[in-house]
Amino acid sequence: MDKNRELQELLGLHWHEYMWKDDDTIPGGGLFECGCGHKTHFQWSFKINPDYASDPRLVLREIEKKGNLGRFILWIWCDSGMVVYNEKWTELGILGILVLVIKLIAIDTTGKLRDLAIRWLKE
Ligand SMILES: [Zn+2]
Protein backbone atom coordinates (compact mmCIF):
# COMPACT_ATOMS: atom_id res chain seq x y z
CA MET A 1 0.00 0.00 0.00
CA ASP A 2 1.07 3.58 -0.66
CA LYS A 3 2.66 4.83 2.57
CA ASN A 4 0.89 8.18 2.41
CA ARG A 5 -2.38 6.30 2.18
CA GLU A 6 -1.36 3.98 5.00
CA LEU A 7 -0.71 6.93 7.33
CA GLN A 8 -3.90 8.68 6.27
CA GLU A 9 -5.94 5.60 7.14
CA LEU A 10 -4.07 4.97 10.44
CA LEU A 11 -5.02 8.56 11.35
CA GLY A 12 -8.64 7.69 10.62
CA LEU A 13 -8.76 10.06 7.64
CA HIS A 14 -10.28 9.55 4.21
CA TRP A 15 -8.12 8.72 1.17
CA HIS A 16 -9.64 10.03 -2.05
CA GLU A 17 -9.93 7.40 -4.75
CA TYR A 18 -12.14 7.99 -7.76
CA MET A 19 -14.00 5.42 -9.84
CA TRP A 20 -15.80 6.07 -13.10
CA LYS A 21 -19.55 5.42 -12.86
CA ASP A 22 -21.48 4.97 -16.09
CA ASP A 23 -24.74 6.93 -16.14
CA ASP A 24 -26.48 7.45 -19.48
CA THR A 25 -28.89 9.98 -17.99
CA ILE A 26 -26.21 12.66 -17.56
CA PRO A 27 -24.07 14.50 -20.16
CA GLY A 28 -20.78 12.71 -20.75
CA GLY A 29 -22.34 9.32 -20.01
CA GLY A 30 -21.19 9.20 -16.41
CA LEU A 31 -18.85 10.75 -13.87
CA PHE A 32 -16.03 10.08 -11.45
CA GLU A 33 -17.07 9.40 -7.86
CA CYS A 34 -15.07 9.09 -4.63
CA GLY A 35 -16.04 7.24 -1.46
CA CYS A 36 -16.38 10.58 0.36
CA GLY A 37 -19.25 11.47 -1.95
CA HIS A 38 -17.37 13.93 -4.18
CA LYS A 39 -18.46 13.62 -7.80
CA THR A 40 -16.92 15.26 -10.84
CA HIS A 41 -16.74 15.01 -14.61
CA PHE A 42 -13.11 16.08 -14.67
CA GLN A 43 -9.95 14.41 -13.40
CA TRP A 44 -8.37 17.83 -12.83
CA SER A 45 -10.93 18.53 -10.11
CA PHE A 46 -10.21 15.38 -8.10
CA LYS A 47 -9.59 16.14 -4.42
CA ILE A 48 -5.86 15.86 -3.71
CA ASN A 49 -4.47 13.40 -1.16
CA PRO A 50 -1.72 14.58 1.21
CA ASP A 51 1.93 13.83 0.41
CA TYR A 52 3.40 13.35 3.88
CA ALA A 53 6.87 12.69 2.45
CA SER A 54 7.24 15.92 0.49
CA ASP A 55 5.82 17.99 3.37
CA PRO A 56 6.57 16.35 6.76
CA ARG A 57 4.86 19.30 8.54
CA LEU A 58 1.56 17.68 7.53
CA VAL A 59 2.43 14.68 9.73
CA LEU A 60 2.87 16.94 12.76
CA ARG A 61 -0.32 18.90 12.03
CA GLU A 62 -2.48 15.78 11.87
CA ILE A 63 -0.96 14.28 15.02
CA GLU A 64 -1.37 17.62 16.82
CA LYS A 65 -5.08 17.65 15.85
CA LYS A 66 -5.42 14.35 17.68
CA GLY A 67 -3.67 15.84 20.74
CA ASN A 68 -0.82 13.32 20.60
CA LEU A 69 2.08 15.46 19.42
CA GLY A 70 3.96 15.38 22.74
CA ARG A 71 3.72 11.59 23.00
CA PHE A 72 4.84 11.17 19.37
CA ILE A 73 7.91 13.35 19.86
CA LEU A 74 8.74 11.58 23.12
CA TRP A 75 8.47 8.22 21.32
CA ILE A 76 10.80 9.41 18.52
CA TRP A 77 13.27 10.54 21.14
CA CYS A 78 13.12 7.55 23.47
CA ASP A 79 11.80 4.49 21.64
CA SER A 80 12.09 4.85 17.86
CA GLY A 81 15.75 3.87 17.66
CA MET A 82 16.60 7.12 15.87
CA VAL A 83 18.50 8.42 18.86
CA VAL A 84 21.00 6.09 20.51
CA TYR A 85 20.65 6.30 24.27
CA ASN A 86 24.17 7.33 25.19
CA GLU A 87 24.17 9.96 22.44
CA LYS A 88 21.13 11.64 23.91
CA TRP A 89 22.80 13.47 26.72
CA THR A 90 26.47 13.42 25.82
CA GLU A 91 27.23 13.66 22.11
CA LEU A 92 24.09 15.19 20.65
CA GLY A 93 23.64 18.23 22.85
CA ILE A 94 21.22 20.99 21.98
CA LEU A 95 22.77 21.61 18.56
CA GLY A 96 22.54 17.93 17.67
CA ILE A 97 18.91 17.80 18.73
CA LEU A 98 18.13 20.87 16.67
CA VAL A 99 19.84 19.41 13.59
CA LEU A 100 17.93 16.13 13.98
CA VAL A 101 14.60 17.96 14.24
CA ILE A 102 15.36 20.25 11.28
CA LYS A 103 16.39 17.26 9.15
CA LEU A 104 13.15 15.42 9.96
CA ILE A 105 10.82 18.36 9.45
CA ALA A 106 12.42 20.73 6.96
CA ILE A 107 15.00 18.86 4.89
CA ASP A 108 13.98 15.23 4.46
CA THR A 109 11.57 14.55 1.58
CA THR A 110 11.88 10.75 1.61
CA GLY A 111 9.16 10.26 4.24
CA LYS A 112 11.25 9.57 7.37
CA LEU A 113 8.80 11.38 9.67
CA ARG A 114 5.82 9.79 7.90
CA ASP A 115 7.34 6.33 8.31
CA LEU A 116 8.03 7.01 12.01
CA ALA A 117 4.40 8.05 12.45
CA ILE A 118 3.23 4.82 10.80
CA ARG A 119 5.41 2.75 13.15
CA TRP A 120 4.24 4.74 16.18
CA LEU A 121 0.55 4.43 15.32
CA LYS A 122 0.92 0.67 14.82
CA GLU A 123 2.55 0.13 18.24
ZN1 LIG B 1 -12.86 11.52 -1.43
> What are 13-27's pLDDT values in tens digits?
999 999 999 999 988
Label residue 64 by pLDDT band (50, 70, 90).
very high
- Whole-prediction pTM: 0.84
**Confidence (pLDDT) at 17:** 97
Can you give the C-alpha Rg of the chain in angstroms? 19
Give the chain's length: 123
Label residue 31 by pLDDT band (50, 70, 90).
very high
Ligand 1 center–CA 14 separation, angstroms = 7
Ligand 1 center–CA 95 separation, angstroms = 42
Higher pLDDT, 40 or 95: 40
Ligand 1 center–CA 68 separation, angstroms = 25
**Confidence (pLDDT) at 83:** 72
Ligand 1 center–CA 71 separation, angstroms = 30
Sheet architecture: strand order including 30-34? 18-22, 30-34, 39-40
